[in-house]
């Protein structure tokens, strides 16, 4: 089973990387970009076929290591 975790800064948390990307896009002539939020994607290959157990395991991974839950939120997609 594969799991994809999308980690993003929570709304209201300053995103300096996103702001740098927005500024660079403007400098390259891409007008009209009013905001950019930058995040990360983590892909995991998991043993087993139990989606409920896999989601619980990946949630625990996110809470302990993959996301800083004070300032970041995460979304898990299983396939």
Q: Residue 39 sits in a domain of what CATH number? A: 3.30.1280.10
Helix (H, G, I), strand (E, B) or coil at 43: strand
Q: Average pLDDT, whole number, for the chain?
A: 97
User: What per-residue confidence (pLDDT) applies to 55?
Assistant: 98
Token pair of 60, please?
């625990």
CA dist., res. 77 & res. 79, Å (int): 7
CA dist., res. 37 & res. 71, Å (int): 13
Q: How far is CA 67 from the centre of its chain?
A: 8
Dump pLDDT digits (tens) for 41-55: 999 999 999 999 999
CA dist., res. 73 & res. 79, Å (int): 20
Q: Does the predicted model carry a pTM greater than 0.75?
A: yes
> Count of domains in the chain?
1
CA angle 55, 8, 35 (to 5 degrees): 150
Host domain of residue 62: 2-78
């Amino acid at each position: 089973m594969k799991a994809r975790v999308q980690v993003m800064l929570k709304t209201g948390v300053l995103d300096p990387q996103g702001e740098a990307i927005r500024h660079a896009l403007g400098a390259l002539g891409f007008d009209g970009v009013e905001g950019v939020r930058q995040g990360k994607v983590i892909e995991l290959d998991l043993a087993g076929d139990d989606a409920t157990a896999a989601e619980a395991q990946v949630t625990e991974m996110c809470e302990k290591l993959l996301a800083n839950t004070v300032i970041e939120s995460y979304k898990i997609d299983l396939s």
